Amino acid sequence: MRVILAETAGFCYGVKRAVELAEQTARTKGGAMLGSLIHNENVIRSLSSLGMRRIEDPAEARAGESVLIRSHGEPREVLEALNARGANPVDATCPNVRHTQQLVEKAEREGLQVVIVGEPHHPEVAAIASRCRGAAVCESPEAVESLLQSGALDTAKTVLAVAQTTCIRALWENCLKILKKECTNLKICDTICKATQRRQAEAAALAAEVDVMVVVGDRKSANTRHLTEICKEACPRVVSIETADELSPDVFIGCITAGLTAGASTPASIIKEVYATMTEEVKNETIAAEGESFEEMLEKSFKTLNTGDKVKGIVTKIGATEIYVDLGCKQTGIIPISELSADPNAKVEDIVKIGDEIETYIQRVNDVEGYASLSKKRLDAVKVWEDIEKAVEDKTVLDGIVTEVNKGGIVVSVKGVRVFVPASQSGQPREADLTAMVKQPVKLRITEVNRARRRVVGSIRSVQSELRAAAQAEVWNNIEVGKHYNGTVKSMTSYGVFVDIGGVDGMVHISELSWSRIKHPSEVVKVGDQLDVYVISFDAEKHKISLGVKDRTQNPWDVFMKTYKVGDIANVRVVKLMTFGAFAEVVPGVDGLIHISQIADRRIGKPGDVLSEGQMVDAKITAIDEEKQKISLSIRAILTPEAADEEPEEIPEAE
């Protein structure tokens, strides 16, 4: 096998300039890189080792610090934020990108409409789009059609069309065809980097001549992705890697020539390492081939394939409806896309790539047409059943999703296998509505497997019991008086509420729920509420915990004294009616007495004739006994001012 290296592989002028600026800044005064200077983590790590720290937000920049603007450029607002921080931007923007930014800035001043052909979320495109209000970004001819149909583009006005510097030439030209038909005044500025164009044309030509094409570059790099796409159109076997470590010898099986190219952000050192590795693989393959006799190679070519066998092979081509696999024999393996995965939402590119080794199940062998029909889905199903059976023996905890409720329990999908969980093992209270569990993730243990009947039974409750026991042990090992917990209200009684503080329930007495007088806990909390509670006392032997909610650092009487004085009018809440008057809450935890003689401007038979518990009324503070912490209130004093001069009644003790 012969290895051919593309002439223009590796750093372009703009990337090389950015890296040199970064190295120069690091050597002289140090500084920071805002985001990824270029799309290559190896280069970024190297610059970091020289003292260039990496920041992701302008707010992280220090005053007076040199901050490198990446080769893709930055949006206008980012540069403004850096200046506001007092940082010193070092512009490493690629000259080609900067030229495009200037074209768009000029269009903004002249009132032109701007269309950018490129990837909407790419940093270069975002930086260019920020130079003009309302710039439209289209990543495909379909996006251009949609833009025109929406009416967002006034085709009667002048439109400026520019491209992302790494845009594929064919994509740019197809978008222009549509714009030319619809736009009366279209101004075209071909901003595709000439070096990028040469690199792409050279890669396409090389890919058409070789059996396998290797593209080196960071996977986040648009330049590298475009090179890979272009090569795939001309070569059936294309491998995209970031470093030489990702190369597999199996990639070159059966190949006579191999091509090598690299994205604009790939340093020469990585390209040389990949080239050396490919050359070494050629030598290894030659040695291996020479060591194998003709009889042995002939025997391998006549290897018999049988329905039901497990086989391994190398993916050589990915089509629209099927995947081709080299099985090392005269038959070609074919996996229909429908037989790749049991997950209907799975994407082919996330499961398999050209050059990958894949293990499959033979469904059918057609010797006449020379192919074997394969299924990865069926092999995966077999492996899943093996895993399920092993999980019973090992008592492994598995993850699953509840898919349905049926008679007697729920069904959980575990790696595509239906597991029945009886209602008693669902972990829910008896008579609970199990439909609320549908689509929820759960952890369970397999308790029974009958593979012949395809019956699997599991238990969620056993896992929950273990987790709860571990949580309870954690609480009791670390509990102490005064410690705070974030708890959940589990149940409620007339005298208080029970709160779960992590597997253990504690009780908050009604008197500890609020400084205010309440008749029932439901006045201030409900089941399911989250409460910040603290431990008042506990008995580890009896497993009892007394909790509090009231903030004891705030003395209600001190709050009252800081807020009110004699003569003030307060809006109070009637909390208790007595024969001699009514007690009213002035602030939570502090009550005052409205004597029956001070309730109205007339004689009344009993307080209940005028007031009711829970009623809010305005009352005047007529006396404060700081020593006994008692307060006299009067509604009458507001209605009849002269009543304020009367001697207050003796304040009885509140019950």
**DSSP conformational letter for 337:** G
3-state secondary structure at position 358: strand
Which residues are paired to 28 by β-bridges? none
Contact indicator for 316, 374 with CB cutoff of 8 Å: no
Question: Where on the phi/psi map is residue 454: left (φ > 0), alpha (ψ -120 to 50), or beta?
Answer: left
Distance between CA 442 and CA 459 in Å, rounded?
10
Tell me 118's DSSP state.
Answer: S
What Å distances lie between residue 163 and 121, 267, 296, 306, 649, CA to CA?
14, 25, 56, 54, 89
Contact assessment for residue 535 and residue 506, using Cβ atoms and an 8 Å cutoff: yes
3 state DSSP class of 335: strand
> What single string gives the DSSP state of each residue in 561-586?
HHH--TT-EEEEEEEEE-SSEEEEEE
626 CB burial (10 A radius; 0-12, 13-18, 19+): exposed
Catalytic: which of 74, 124, 139, 242? Answer: 124
The dihedral built from the CA positions of residue 513, 515, 517 and 522, taken in this order, carries a sign that is negative
Q: Is the dihedral of CA 308, 311, 315, 316 positive or negative?
A: negative
The tokens for 568 are 């003030």
The whole-angstrom separation of Cα 595 and Cα 280 is 102
What is the distance in angstroms between the CA of the first residue and the CA of the last residue of the chain?
Answer: 100
- Residue 248 to residue 399: CA distance in whole angstroms: 33
The two three-digit tokens of residue 365, written as one number: 């062998």
Closest C-alpha among 430, 432, 410, 429 to residue 421: 410
Structure tokens at 152: 């967002």
Q: Which residues pair with 585 in a beta bridge?
A: 573, 591
Question: What torsion do the CA atoms of 362, 366, 369, 371 make, to the nearest 10 degrees?
Answer: 10
Q: What is the DSSP-derived secondary structure letter of residue 246?
A: G
What amino acid is encoded at 455 in this protein? R
**Phi, psi dihedrals of residue 297, rounded to the nearest 5°:** -65, -35
Beta bridge pairs of residue 238: 213
Residue 134 has φ and ψ, to the nearest 5°, of 80, 15
In the annotation, is 124 catalytic?
yes
**Strand ranges in 58-140 using DSSP code E only, listed in sequence order:** 66-69, 88-91, 113-117, 136-138
Amino acid in position 543: H
- 3-class secondary structure, 101: helix
- Enter the tokens of residue 255: 């190949």
Contacts of 604 (CB under 8 A, 6+ apart): 596, 610
d(CA 157, CA 448): 72
3-state SS class at 457:
strand
Q: Which amino acid is at 33?
A: M
CA dihedral 214, 216, 221, 227 (to 10 degrees): -30
Residues 6 or more apart in contact with residue 564 via CB below 8 angstroms: 570, 586, 621
Hey, which residues are catalytic here? 124
